[in-house]
Amino acid sequence: MRSRALVLLAAMLAVTPAVAADADAICAPTNAPVFEDTIGGITSPCATAPGTLVVETTYMQNASQIGGTALATYPTITLRTGIVQNLAFVLDPPSEVAQSGVRGLGVYVPTHLGYGLSYTAAQTGRMALAVFTSVLPPVNRFAPSLTQSRYALGLSSAYTVGSKFNVGFSGQGTSSATRGFGRIQPDGALSAAYDPSAQTQISTDLGTRVSGRKSLSQSYSDVAVDESLAKHFVFKVGIGTTFNPVANAKPHYLASGIDYRL
């Protein structure tokens, strides 16, 4: 059952041949800083190259402005490596979700191991489009939960506007932990990124999500800064918030982490 999402992606790959990349394509640089909007939860449309391993780590502190719930993840770790050209394998080792327990004692519960695939289906000199799927994806950045979604299936895109600015759209559906694809929770966002220098990227996104069955949609936004401190080593920090309450929660978060490419 857990392999159903991967089977769906494999079927998509069979009928969706990748568009050949230009020599100076948006995904071409292999020694540039690892700028990916992992703080904002947006998957890069550029698959990790074969023979390369990217390690992404993120610490996230989350709180609800209305419900008063404070949660944290310690940390979320994602490993990405290329299988063949345009196809990458993604592994999400277990992390911990921390919350307050009785008399202020902390409760630390580990998440499950997750895994998936990311496929760059189209790429030119100015744009890239990828589809991805995951089994037991990481907890949502706005609502860390001890119960992970069962599957995720979505797409991510980027389009360059000039030499320092790009925009994109991402969308995904995450399924219920108990009902599988019988209950899908959609999430979509518009994103933008600006590179003031070769070592710095500022990114932001604006989106909406459905957090549960029969719940209202919740709009959100965040902003992050990625700074390359050394070759293949990037430090990132970001903040995010939701604009309307849903189920007595209007969460916001503060996050930081590092990305490293081997």
Q: What is the mean pLDDT of residues 54-76?
A: 87
pLDDT-derived band at 7 (thresholds 50, 70, 90) equals very low
**Minimal CA–CA distance to 132: which of 118, 114, 120?**
118
Structural domain boundaries, residue 230? 4-261
**Minimal CA–CA distance to 218: which of 253, 192, 186?**
186
Q: How far apart are CA 90 and CA 78, in angstroms?
A: 7
Q: Which two tokens stand for residue 167?
A: 């925009």
Place of tokens 């939960």: 145
**In this predicted model, what pLDDT tens digit does every residue of 176-196 receive, in sequence order?**
877 676 678 899 999 999 999
**In this predicted model, what pLDDT tens digit does every residue of 123-158 receive, in sequence order?**
988 999 999 999 999 888 887 776 788 999 999 999
Residues 6+ apart with CB under 8 A from 163: none
- Residue 250: give its domain's CATH number: 2.40.160.40
Looking at the structure of the chain, the number of domains it has is 1
Cβ 157 vs Cβ 175: under 8 Å = no
CB atoms within 10 A of CB 46: 22
pLDDT at 2 over 90: no
**Minimal CA–CA distance to 132: which of 220, 51, 209, 43?**
43
